Each structure stands twice: as C-alpha cells, then as structure tokens.
Structure 1
Amino acid sequence: MRPRPSTRRWQRFFGPGDQTIVSDPGWPHIPNFARTLGSEVISISVYSPNAGWKLVPEIVRDHVTPRTKLIMVIDPLNPLGSCYDEEEIKALCEIADLNDAWLLHDATYRDFARLRVGASIAHPALMARIRQHQVDRLGGNWVAQQGAIAAYQTKPNWKPRVLEMNRRNQEAIKACVDEIDSLDIISWLPAANFVAIDVIGTGHDSEAVVRAVLDEGFVIRSGNYTSEIYGPNFVRVTTTVPDEDVRRFCDALPRALKRLT
C-alpha cells in the first residue's frame, strides 16, 4: 500500500528515531503524523500560568536533544488562546537553528481561520521540498478561491467589525465567568476567536459541562480533542457569534452548572 500524499510530505521532515516537540494541550494532527512515521513525540505540558499557557523558549530549550527534528508552535494556541511575541518566536528559531531542527510556526488563527483558506510561508529551498509532495495540486475549488479573494480585497470593510465583536463577546464571557466561583478564564486576553474556561472547580469534567450546556441549547467544545491529560479540565467557547447569542449563553451558563450540582 502506498502512503497517502500528506504522509509522504511529512516523511521529508521526520521519521524513525527522530523527536518532535509539541505542546500539551495542542492541535493533534501534526503529532499524529509524527507518530505514524515513527518519530518520538515529546509533549510538553503548558497547562499552567507559570508557563504562560504556551511553549516558551526556556521550556523548549530544556527538552531539545540531538534527535529533535521538529518543534511545533501553534500561535495563537488552539485550544487555549495564548500567543507569542516577536522575541519569543525569534528565540525559538534560534533554538531550532542551533539544533539543526525545523520550527513549524502554525499561525492559522491569526488571519485565516474564519475564511477556511490558508497559506504556507518558508525559505525557498524548504518550499521546493514541500511542493514535491503537494496533497492537492488544485487547492480549493474555484468558488472558494474567488470568495477568499473577495474577502481579502474587502477586509478593511469587515475585519474591524469582526475584531470588535470578538473582543466584546470575549469580555462579556469573562465577566460572566468571573461571577462563577467554580470557573476560571485561561490565558486572558486570548488572541483567537474563542475563550478557554477551566472547569476543574465544578467537580465535573469538561464533557459533563458540555452536555449540561447543550441541554440549554448551546454547543461548546470539550478540551478532550486536544489533550488526553488536560482535556477534562477545560472547555472552549467560540466568540465570533452574534452578541445576542453570547448574552443568552451567559444567562444559561449558571443554570447549566447548577444542574450538575
């Protein structure tokens, strides 16, 4: 059986005997590719304010070995919302360079998440290697491409409103959570279109909280899809939605939690 194109692409970067450094929690796809190709995945806990809820250079430096081939940084971090400043990214680049490793800077939520289009940026030599193993030579269909072009051409007309709505809804949810002793906001201010909420204080895991909120008519996400260890501790709430939906959610959240007690 021939490997899938996406798997062949990653074979250029790691394989048996290599190590891949990722955050825990973190988006699972790249670690899954690494494991499939025989790379040892080093998952570093970032679920702590002491770590800034992200894979900071000091932590990475302590875990790099001669076998490290890839350092994966998600910015903003899905699912916690923490982001990196320029100096941190430069420091991570230096660590990768000194250890002859790749740094994958996944900035999906910075500009592209809501449009469902994306781009890869890399040194020309690296891009040439990536292009040898394109997953789909056609990319998005024509309608999607035209829609994306139109969206970017008109960005000044809509992006400020979306950012304002996002921040307003994040602040509304934070105000709601601050009134509930059993909940805590993670990584404020988040730099993405969601808010992560620690639910440990409820005495219930994230799946139970998700079900209780669903009974009130709202869909939120458990952290389980991003971390086996920390997933039960938190939920993720999308904030690029109409203000009225957020107001209704904030009214419903205390009722949902009361049902759990």
Structure 2
Amino acid sequence: MSSARQRNRYFDALSTTPGLMWLGQNTNHIPAHPAVKAAMIAAIEAGEFNAYAPPLGFEALRSAIVADLGTPGAEALVTEGGVSALAMVCRAYCKPGTTFVTTDPTWKWPCLFARQAGALVIEIPIYDTACHYRLTPEALKAAVDERTAVIYLVDPNNPLGIRYTREEIEAFAAIARDCGALLVHDCTYRDFADGHYPALHAAPEGAVVSLSFSKWLGLAGLRIGALVACPKILDRCAEAATSVLGASVIAQRAAQAGLQVKPEWMAEVRRIDRANKAKIKDAASRIEGLALPIYPSHGNFLVVETIGAGIKPEALVEAARRENMMIRQGTYHTERFGDRFVKVSTSVPEAWVDTFCDRLPALVAQARTLNDIGAQF
C-alpha cells in the first residue's frame, strides 16, 4: 500500500471513531460561538455556496484580517487553510540552488513544499536547554547566505510552544534583510500567546505572515487561512496560487463572524486552554519519568517528554488510541528529536482533558507492554 493511501486510511479510521477525543492536532474543539454558526447557516440558506468567492477573498474579510493583525499598509490573501498559504510562498520563492532555513522542530509541510520546489532545507536544532528551546540570532546568522530564499519561523513554535520577543523578531528580520531572504512568520498560534509581535512590524517590505482559522476559531475542517504582506510580495505569491477560484464561501463567512466576536470568544477559549494545561502538568508530574520541558506553552498544546519514563512516544499514542484519544508522536514534527516526546492539544473540552489525565497512569503502564505498533502519521 502506498504511504499516501496508508496515511489516508489512518486518519479515516480516526475520523470515523465514535466519540474520539482529538488531543493531537492542535485543533479547537470548544463548541463554536453562536454568531459563527449563525453566519454559516445564513450563507447556506442564502445559497451563497453556488458561486465562487473572489480570488483573493471577500474584501470585508481581507480588511478585517489586516485590522486584526494590526498591520496597516499590508494586504491579506485568503487561502484554503494555512497550509495552502505556505505552499504558495514556497512555490513563489523557492527554486533549485536556493535554501529554505527553519528550525528543528518545526512544522513539517513547508519543508516538503520547499524541497518540491528544488530548495535545500536547512533545519537548525533548537530542542536543547542550552538555547532555551529557541532559535538564536547567532544560530540563524550562521545558517544563511546569499542562497537563502526563505527563513521560515513558526511562532509560537509548533510543537514546543515557545514565543519569540520583539527584539528577537527584529534581529531575525535584520538577518533576512542582510542576506536578501523573505522572512516567513507563521503566526498560526499567535492568539494563544502573550506579547506576540508580527514580523511585518519589523520588516513591512521583507516579511510575510501566514495565518489560520483552524486553531483559534475551530474551522479546521472548513480550510481557511491567509497570507498578509505588502502588495509587492502578495502579488508575487498570488501568481503562484493554485486556488484561483477563491476559498470556501461558507468558511469565509464564518471567519468574518469570528473576527467580530474574537475578544469575547478568545477570552473563554484561553480560560479553558490554561485550565487544561494546568491539569496535564499536574497529571504528568505524578508519573515518574514524564516531564514538561516548556511550561507554560504559548500554543494550544504541550510537549510531554516520555524518554525519562523509558517508553516510546508511539507506544503511548497507540495506548491512547485504544482509549478513543488521539495524541501526537514527536516524529511527526522531527526525526532528530521525535523519540523524546508526545504532543497533547489543549483547546478542547475540559472533560476530554479530565479523561486523559485520569487515564494517564494506565496509558503509561500499557505503553510499556506495546511492541507491535502500526504506522503513525
């Protein structure tokens, strides 16, 4: 069986599991805000889905995205999820003979897109207490040169949850400017972070921000995201677009409604998220060998190290699956460090996390007995 078919069947089995607790994809499963549901229903009842959306997105949504990011002078391009936005950037800027510089861990898919375009991917290791689990300007400067087309920064980092300061972002922007690279600031998790600083403030003509509505607003299945950049960069990216007929009309109406109620919505989401993190931290601290290397996380997830407990992350993932819980093995994010940890999502109903924490001792015990584990993705 091809890996693509195997991967599809893996997720199809998860998707068709009744009552599955999604605790591994950083998706938001807190019940939707009534205004967001009403906007989708109104769009469906009006038959708006019979027509294509504008290719760059509805103007009202484009303006609202820029206003929410606080980057006047920039423009937004609405995409079919954040992953499509990043694929567009890679197609526009990466080619044979160029390099794509990022961290390890990072989000894996832009690395794939860069390689597909012919670029050499350089991953700077940051899973280390010596660098406090973060990219340093010194490490970045040593990894770039005149070949560097893209510097890709996930901030807050997925899966570690660290958040970069304004001073660090400004230093990264200066390095990108000096070597002629585009600074791609993946801000998917910015709404869970305190003090987040978009790179467009530091480099309005040399950076692009990618955004997603999957995580903070819970629209993962609707596939909607955005790129935000100056008109010149946005035009170059738009020329590489494959979604030339616009993103989902229903998703865009949901996103518009979500931005209108965002302060109210995120106050409750973050309350639940913080409570869930505290519960997981407490539960993990009661099991010898488990550890949380980064706490608190600025993303809607936590890294739980299993290496000290002598169990494989894949075994714990499989034990959780047998209890109708989906958590993520570290190798999804990084081959180099993936044997150390699992990742657990926290923007979920508190009852899910209560169940996970209650069963964690038994899951660890069962993981010690598992050897024959199928492929995980």
Q: TM-score, normalised by structure 1?
A: 0.91
The corresponding residue for 1:24 is 104
Contact 2:330 2:339 in 1 (8 A): yes
My pick for the range that moved more, 243-252 or 131-140, is: 131-140
Q: Aligned match of 1:247 in 347, 350, 354? A: 354
Q: Which runs of 5+ in 2 are unaligned?
A: 1-84, 192-212, 369-377
Alignment partner of 2:163: what SS?
A: coil
Alignment partner of 1:90: what SS?
A: helix
Correspondence list, 1:1-261, <5 A? 10-111=90-191, 112=213, 113-115=215-217, 116=219, 117-261=224-368
* TM-aligned CA distance change 1:43 to 1:156, over 3 Å: closer
Per-residue deviation, 1:134: 2.1
Alignment partner of 1:42: what SS?
A: strand
Per-residue deviation, 1:91: 0.5
The Cα offsets for residues 10-65 of structure 1, whole Å up to 9 and x where unpaired, read as 34312111111111111111111111222111111111122222322221112122
Contact 1:76 1:84 in 2 (8 A): yes
Q: Which runs of 5+ in 1 are unaligned?
A: none
* Identity %, equivalent residues: 36
* CA distance in 1 between partners of 2:339 and 2:366 (Å): 18
Q: TM-score, normalised by structure 2?
A: 0.64
Per-residue deviation, 1:8: 7.3
Task: Tell me: higher relative CO, structure 1 or 2? Use CA pairs within 8 A at least 6 residues apart.
Answer: 2
Per-residue deviation, 1:256: 1.1
* CA distance in 2 between partners of 1:8 and 1:48 (Å): 31
Per-residue deviation, 1:99: 0.9
* TM-aligned CA distance change 1:165 to 1:9, over 3 Å: closer
Alignment partner of 1:43: what SS?
A: strand
My pick for the range that moved more, 249-258 or 134-143, is: 134-143
Q: Which amino acid aligns with 1:61?
A: K
* TM-aligned CA distance change 1:96 to 1:26, over 3 Å: same
Per-residue deviation, 1:93: 0.1
* CA distance in 2 between partners of 1:177 and 1:244 (Å): 17
Contact 1:215 1:256 in 2 (8 A): no
Contact 1:6 1:133 in 2 (8 A): no
* CA distance in 2 between partners of 1:213 and 1:79 (Å): 19
